[in-house]
Structure 1
Protein backbone atom coordinates (compact mmCIF):
# COMPACT_ATOMS: atom_id res chain seq x y z
CA UNK A 1 0.00 0.00 0.00
CA UNK A 2 1.34 3.43 -0.93
CA UNK A 3 1.73 6.21 1.57
CA UNK A 4 -0.45 9.34 1.54
CA UNK A 5 2.65 11.32 0.54
CA UNK A 6 3.09 9.18 -2.61
CA UNK A 7 -0.60 9.36 -3.45
CA UNK A 8 -0.63 13.15 -3.14
CA UNK A 9 2.50 13.40 -5.27
CA UNK A 10 0.92 11.30 -8.03
CA UNK A 11 -2.34 13.30 -7.89
CA UNK A 12 -0.51 16.60 -7.95
CA UNK A 13 2.25 15.92 -10.48
CA UNK A 14 1.49 12.83 -12.58
CA UNK A 15 -2.06 12.88 -13.92
CA UNK A 16 -2.33 16.36 -15.36
CA UNK A 17 -0.03 18.60 -17.35
CA UNK A 18 -0.12 22.34 -17.83
CA UNK A 19 1.61 23.49 -21.02
CA UNK A 20 0.20 27.02 -20.90
CA UNK A 21 1.17 27.94 -17.35
CA UNK A 22 -2.31 29.36 -16.80
CA UNK A 23 -4.29 28.50 -13.70
CA UNK A 24 -7.01 26.74 -15.72
CA UNK A 25 -4.61 25.24 -18.27
CA UNK A 26 -4.45 21.72 -16.80
CA UNK A 27 -5.35 18.75 -18.96
CA UNK A 28 -4.91 14.98 -18.80
CA UNK A 29 -1.54 13.64 -19.94
CA UNK A 30 -3.06 11.53 -22.74
CA UNK A 31 -4.97 14.50 -24.16
CA UNK A 32 -1.83 16.63 -23.97
CA UNK A 33 0.09 13.94 -25.81
CA UNK A 34 -2.59 13.77 -28.53
CA UNK A 35 -2.31 17.55 -28.95
CA UNK A 36 1.48 17.21 -29.21
CA UNK A 37 1.10 14.53 -31.89
CA UNK A 38 -1.34 16.76 -33.81
CA UNK A 39 1.10 19.66 -33.56
CA UNK A 40 3.99 17.53 -34.81
CA UNK A 41 2.07 15.89 -37.66
CA UNK A 42 -0.35 18.63 -38.72
CA UNK A 43 -0.03 22.12 -37.27
CA UNK A 44 3.75 22.64 -37.41
CA UNK A 45 4.76 20.05 -40.00
CA UNK A 46 6.93 21.02 -42.92
CA UNK A 47 7.77 17.69 -44.47
CA UNK A 48 4.30 16.17 -44.31
CA UNK A 49 3.81 12.46 -43.82
CA UNK A 50 7.31 11.81 -45.23
CA UNK A 51 9.01 13.25 -42.15
CA UNK A 52 11.73 11.05 -40.73
CA UNK A 53 12.29 10.21 -37.07
CA UNK A 54 15.37 12.41 -37.21
CA UNK A 55 13.27 15.35 -38.37
CA UNK A 56 10.63 14.73 -35.68
CA UNK A 57 13.41 14.58 -33.09
CA UNK A 58 14.72 17.91 -34.36
CA UNK A 59 11.39 19.80 -34.58
CA UNK A 60 9.59 18.50 -31.47
CA UNK A 61 11.43 20.75 -28.96
CA UNK A 62 10.41 23.81 -31.03
CA UNK A 63 6.68 23.16 -30.84
CA UNK A 64 5.99 24.88 -27.49
CA UNK A 65 7.72 28.02 -28.84
CA UNK A 66 5.83 27.83 -32.14
CA UNK A 67 2.56 27.36 -30.26
CA UNK A 68 3.29 30.37 -28.01
CA UNK A 69 4.26 32.48 -31.03
CA UNK A 70 1.06 31.50 -32.86
CA UNK A 71 -1.12 32.43 -29.89
CA UNK A 72 0.79 35.71 -29.38
CA UNK A 73 0.33 36.74 -33.04
CA UNK A 74 -3.36 35.81 -32.95
CA UNK A 75 -3.78 37.97 -29.85
CA UNK A 76 -1.77 40.90 -31.27
CA UNK A 77 -3.62 41.03 -34.58
CA UNK A 78 -7.00 39.98 -33.14
CA UNK A 79 -7.41 37.31 -35.78
CA UNK A 80 -9.91 34.50 -35.47
CA UNK A 81 -7.97 32.15 -33.24
CA UNK A 82 -7.64 28.44 -33.60
CA UNK A 83 -9.54 26.54 -30.98
CA UNK A 84 -7.47 24.96 -28.28
CA UNK A 85 -10.44 22.95 -27.03
CA UNK A 86 -13.21 21.02 -28.62
CA UNK A 87 -16.62 22.55 -28.52
CA UNK A 88 -19.96 22.53 -30.23
CA UNK A 89 -19.70 24.16 -33.66
CA UNK A 90 -21.69 27.38 -33.89
CA UNK A 91 -21.93 28.02 -37.62
CA UNK A 92 -24.53 30.77 -37.27
CA UNK A 93 -22.33 32.68 -34.84
CA UNK A 94 -19.26 32.13 -37.04
CA UNK A 95 -21.02 33.36 -40.19
CA UNK A 96 -22.42 36.33 -38.27
CA UNK A 97 -18.96 37.25 -36.98
CA UNK A 98 -17.41 36.92 -40.45
CA UNK A 99 -20.18 39.02 -42.01
CA UNK A 100 -19.66 41.68 -39.34
CA UNK A 101 -15.93 41.79 -40.13
CA UNK A 102 -16.58 42.16 -43.88
CA UNK A 103 -19.10 44.96 -43.32
CA UNK A 104 -16.74 46.72 -40.91
CA UNK A 105 -13.82 46.54 -43.38
CA UNK A 106 -15.87 48.10 -46.18
CA UNK A 107 -14.08 45.91 -48.70
CA UNK A 108 -17.26 45.04 -50.57
CA UNK A 109 -18.73 48.56 -50.74
CA UNK A 110 -19.49 50.03 -54.14
CA UNK A 111 -17.50 53.13 -55.05
CA UNK A 112 -18.81 55.04 -58.05
CA UNK A 113 -16.22 55.81 -60.72
CA UNK A 114 -13.69 53.32 -59.47
CA UNK A 115 -11.78 51.57 -62.27
CA UNK A 116 -8.96 49.10 -62.50
CA UNK A 117 -5.60 50.70 -63.15
CA UNK A 118 -4.16 50.66 -66.68
CA UNK A 119 -6.72 48.33 -68.24
CA UNK A 120 -10.28 47.30 -67.67
CA UNK A 121 -9.54 43.63 -66.97
CA UNK A 122 -7.94 41.96 -63.98
CA UNK A 123 -4.81 39.88 -64.52
CA UNK A 124 -5.38 36.16 -64.97
CA UNK A 125 -2.98 35.03 -62.26
CA UNK A 126 -4.14 31.43 -62.40
CA UNK A 127 -3.18 31.02 -66.05
CA UNK A 128 0.06 32.97 -65.55
CA UNK A 129 0.94 30.69 -62.64
CA UNK A 130 0.31 27.52 -64.66
CA UNK A 131 2.45 28.87 -67.51
CA UNK A 132 5.26 29.68 -65.06
CA UNK A 133 5.06 26.18 -63.58
CA UNK A 134 5.69 24.75 -67.03
CA UNK A 135 8.33 27.26 -68.21
CA UNK A 136 10.38 27.27 -65.01
CA UNK A 137 10.28 23.50 -64.65
CA UNK A 138 8.78 23.70 -61.15
CA UNK A 139 6.71 20.55 -61.53
CA UNK A 140 9.67 18.61 -62.96
CA UNK A 141 11.85 19.80 -60.09
CA UNK A 142 9.17 18.83 -57.58
CA UNK A 143 8.86 15.35 -59.09
CA UNK A 144 12.64 14.85 -59.27
CA UNK A 145 12.98 15.56 -55.55
CA UNK A 146 10.26 13.02 -54.69
CA UNK A 147 10.83 10.23 -57.18
CA UNK A 148 13.52 7.71 -56.32
CA UNK A 149 14.15 4.02 -56.92
CA UNK A 150 12.28 1.77 -54.56
CA UNK A 151 13.33 -1.68 -53.49
CA UNK A 152 11.19 -4.65 -54.44
CA UNK A 153 12.98 -7.02 -52.08
CA UNK A 154 11.06 -8.58 -49.21
CA UNK A 155 12.84 -10.06 -46.21
CA UNK A 156 11.15 -12.82 -44.25
CA UNK A 157 12.10 -14.27 -40.89
CA UNK A 158 15.76 -13.67 -40.05
CA UNK A 159 16.48 -12.04 -43.40
CA UNK A 160 18.36 -15.00 -44.87
CA UNK A 161 15.76 -15.72 -47.58
CA UNK A 162 15.12 -12.63 -49.71
CA UNK A 163 12.43 -12.81 -52.38
CA UNK A 164 12.37 -10.40 -55.27
CA UNK A 165 9.14 -9.07 -56.75
CA UNK A 166 10.74 -8.02 -60.02
Structure 2
Protein backbone atom coordinates (compact mmCIF):
# COMPACT_ATOMS: atom_id res chain seq x y z
CA UNK A 1 0.00 0.00 0.00
CA UNK A 2 1.20 3.46 -0.84
CA UNK A 3 -0.29 6.63 0.58
CA UNK A 4 0.52 10.20 -0.34
CA UNK A 5 -0.44 12.05 2.85
CA UNK A 6 -0.96 15.81 2.72
CA UNK A 7 -1.70 18.02 5.71
CA UNK A 8 -4.46 20.33 4.52
CA UNK A 9 -6.38 23.42 5.51
CA UNK A 10 -9.24 22.07 3.38
CA UNK A 11 -9.74 19.56 0.59
CA UNK A 12 -12.52 18.26 -1.58
CA UNK A 13 -13.16 15.71 -4.29
CA UNK A 14 -15.73 16.02 -7.07
CA UNK A 15 -17.18 13.62 -9.62
CA UNK A 16 -18.95 15.11 -12.64
CA UNK A 17 -18.75 18.55 -11.01
CA UNK A 18 -20.58 17.29 -7.90
CA UNK A 19 -18.73 17.36 -4.57
CA UNK A 20 -18.70 13.85 -3.12
CA UNK A 21 -16.37 14.50 -0.17
CA UNK A 22 -14.91 17.53 1.55
CA UNK A 23 -13.03 18.32 4.72
CA UNK A 24 -11.56 21.21 6.64
CA UNK A 25 -8.30 21.00 8.63
CA UNK A 26 -6.83 17.54 8.55
CA UNK A 27 -5.31 15.07 6.10
CA UNK A 28 -5.92 14.13 2.50
CA UNK A 29 -4.81 10.56 1.78
CA UNK A 30 -4.25 9.46 -1.81
CA UNK A 31 -4.26 5.66 -1.53
CA UNK A 32 -2.80 3.07 -3.90
CA UNK A 33 -3.38 -0.64 -3.37
CA UNK A 34 -1.05 -3.40 -4.62
CA UNK A 35 -2.10 -6.98 -5.37
CA UNK A 36 -0.13 -8.26 -2.37
CA UNK A 37 -1.81 -6.01 0.20
CA UNK A 38 -3.59 -7.71 3.09
CA UNK A 39 -5.41 -6.52 6.19
CA UNK A 40 -2.01 -6.13 7.90
CA UNK A 41 -1.15 -3.17 5.64
CA UNK A 42 -4.32 -1.34 6.68
CA UNK A 43 -3.24 -0.61 10.24
CA UNK A 44 -1.90 2.91 9.79
CA UNK A 45 -0.77 4.97 12.70
CA UNK A 46 -3.06 7.88 13.32
CA UNK A 47 -0.68 9.05 16.05
CA UNK A 48 1.77 10.68 13.62
CA UNK A 49 2.53 14.15 14.98
CA UNK A 50 1.93 16.38 12.00
CA UNK A 51 0.16 19.38 13.56
CA UNK A 52 0.85 22.22 15.99
CA UNK A 53 -0.19 21.77 19.60
CA UNK A 54 -2.43 24.36 21.35
CA UNK A 55 0.68 26.37 22.30
CA UNK A 56 1.71 26.59 18.63
CA UNK A 57 4.62 24.15 18.81
CA UNK A 58 5.06 22.36 15.45
CA UNK A 59 5.02 18.59 15.02
CA UNK A 60 3.47 17.96 18.45
CA UNK A 61 -0.16 16.98 17.77
CA UNK A 62 -1.74 14.09 15.86
CA UNK A 63 -4.87 14.16 13.72
CA UNK A 64 -6.69 12.67 16.71
CA UNK A 65 -5.33 15.32 19.09
CA UNK A 66 -6.73 18.14 16.95
CA UNK A 67 -9.92 16.24 16.05
CA UNK A 68 -9.06 16.83 12.40
CA UNK A 69 -10.80 15.42 9.37
CA UNK A 70 -9.59 12.94 6.74
CA UNK A 71 -10.36 12.74 3.03
CA UNK A 72 -9.47 9.39 1.44
CA UNK A 73 -9.12 9.14 -2.35
CA UNK A 74 -8.28 5.95 -4.25
CA UNK A 75 -5.27 6.46 -6.53
CA UNK A 76 -4.15 3.40 -8.50
CA UNK A 77 -1.64 5.56 -10.39
CA UNK A 78 0.64 5.53 -7.32
CA UNK A 79 1.80 2.14 -8.62
CA UNK A 80 2.49 3.49 -12.12
CA UNK A 81 5.85 2.36 -13.49
CA UNK A 82 7.38 4.80 -16.00
CA UNK A 83 10.70 3.04 -16.55
CA UNK A 84 9.86 1.57 -19.97
CA UNK A 85 8.20 3.08 -23.01
CA UNK A 86 6.19 6.28 -23.18
CA UNK A 87 3.17 5.14 -21.17
CA UNK A 88 3.11 4.12 -17.53
CA UNK A 89 2.42 0.51 -16.69
CA UNK A 90 -0.05 -0.06 -13.88
CA UNK A 91 0.65 -3.78 -13.47
CA UNK A 92 1.80 -3.07 -9.89
CA UNK A 93 -1.71 -1.95 -8.93
CA UNK A 94 -4.29 -4.37 -7.61
CA UNK A 95 -7.16 -5.26 -9.94
CA UNK A 96 -10.22 -3.05 -9.34
CA UNK A 97 -12.32 -5.66 -7.48
CA UNK A 98 -9.50 -6.53 -5.07
CA UNK A 99 -8.42 -2.91 -4.66
CA UNK A 100 -11.94 -1.73 -3.86
CA UNK A 101 -12.37 -4.35 -1.12
CA UNK A 102 -9.09 -3.37 0.53
CA UNK A 103 -9.80 0.35 0.09
CA UNK A 104 -13.21 -0.04 1.78
CA UNK A 105 -11.61 -1.95 4.67
CA UNK A 106 -9.05 0.85 5.04
CA UNK A 107 -11.81 3.47 5.16
CA UNK A 108 -13.68 1.36 7.75
CA UNK A 109 -10.48 1.16 9.84
CA UNK A 110 -10.14 4.96 9.74
CA UNK A 111 -13.81 5.43 10.70
CA UNK A 112 -13.16 3.50 13.92
CA UNK A 113 -11.16 6.54 15.05
CA UNK A 114 -14.37 8.55 15.47
CA UNK A 115 -12.98 11.32 13.26
CA UNK A 116 -14.86 12.72 10.28
CA UNK A 117 -13.84 10.56 7.30
CA UNK A 118 -14.87 11.54 3.78
CA UNK A 119 -14.06 9.69 0.55
CA UNK A 120 -13.95 10.06 -3.16
CA UNK A 121 -15.77 7.62 -5.44
CA UNK A 122 -13.78 4.47 -6.10
CA UNK A 123 -13.00 3.96 -9.79
CA UNK A 124 -14.45 7.29 -10.91
CA UNK A 125 -12.68 10.11 -12.72
CA UNK A 126 -12.27 12.60 -9.87
CA UNK A 127 -11.13 16.17 -9.47
CA UNK A 128 -9.30 16.67 -6.18
CA UNK A 129 -8.73 20.11 -4.72
CA UNK A 130 -6.12 20.26 -1.99
CA UNK A 131 -5.11 23.29 0.04
CA UNK A 132 -1.85 21.87 1.35
CA UNK A 133 -0.86 23.29 4.75
CA UNK A 134 2.86 23.89 5.16
CA UNK A 135 3.27 22.36 2.63
CA UNK A 136 3.45 18.99 4.34
CA UNK A 137 3.46 15.96 2.06
CA UNK A 138 4.67 12.49 3.07
CA UNK A 139 4.88 9.24 1.17
CA UNK A 140 3.87 6.31 3.35
CA UNK A 141 4.67 2.86 2.01
CA UNK A 142 3.77 -0.40 3.63
CA UNK A 143 4.35 -3.52 1.58
CA UNK A 144 3.22 -7.01 2.49
CA UNK A 145 5.96 -9.25 3.82
CA UNK A 146 6.78 -12.27 1.64
CA UNK A 147 5.19 -15.50 2.81
**Would you call these one fold, judging by a TM-score over 0.5?**
no
Higher helix share: 1
Q: TM-score, normalised by structure 1?
A: 0.21
Report the TM-score, using the length of structure 2 for normalisation: 0.23
Higher relative contact order (CA 8 A, sep 6+): 2
